[in-house]
Each structure stands twice: as structure tokens, then as C-alpha cells.
Amino acid sequence: MITYQSGSTVKLTANFVDTNNTAFDPDTIDSIKIYTPDKTQLASYTSEDTTKETVGKYYLYYTLPAGYSHVYHEWNYTYNSVSDLVRDKISISGME
């Protein structure tokens, strides 16, 4: 896993794929939330803050905070009337 420096702006990416590993575009991206290791919410974004890169791949830019060893980004979405989420972890160096 890559470790990023606190204060760096990183590209947070979500890849939406089905059980056959086929990419799909969600009907809606309901929210994107950033959490600390103890699950305190740091930030929240909407679909308007994201960019579609290709089918099933979306991203947004986020500046990593100081004081944490890592953060999680969680993408809540709806597809075919079912709500689900995609979550990933970003490791941060330079913890204060």
C-alpha cells in the first residue's frame, strides 16, 4: 500500500463493479464521506464533487489531514434500487 504525506492532495477513486467484475455506473452517488481511524467523520461530499473517469470509475481530490495514520473514504451509492457502498483506506505518513 502506498503511504502519502499529510497535507498532500490525493485522488480518491471508487471503482463500481458487479459480482462478475463488470464495471457499472451507479444510478446515484448518494455521498462520499471521509473518516478517521476511530470512525469520526472529517468531510462529506456529493456526486457534484466527483468526476467520472470511465464507466464505473469516479474520483475526487482530497487534501490529507495531519494527525492521523490513515483515513477511509466511503462512497455510498444506489444501483438498481439497491443501496451499497465502496470503501478504501489511505495511509498517511507524518503523523503528529
Residue 93: CB partners within 8 Å, gap ≥ 6?
A: 3, 4, 5, 6
| Mean pLDDT to the nearest integer, 61-88 | 96
The architecture of the domain spanning 3-93 is Sandwich (2.60)
Average pLDDT, the chain: 95
pLDDT tens digit sequence for 17-40: 999 999 999 999 999 999 999 999
Segment 12-19 shows an average pLDDT of 96
Cell of 13: 477513486
% of residues, the chain, pLDDT over 70: 96
At residue 95, does pLDDT exceed 70? no
| Domain-wise residue ranges, the chain | 3-93
Cβ pair 66, 7 in contact under 8 A: yes
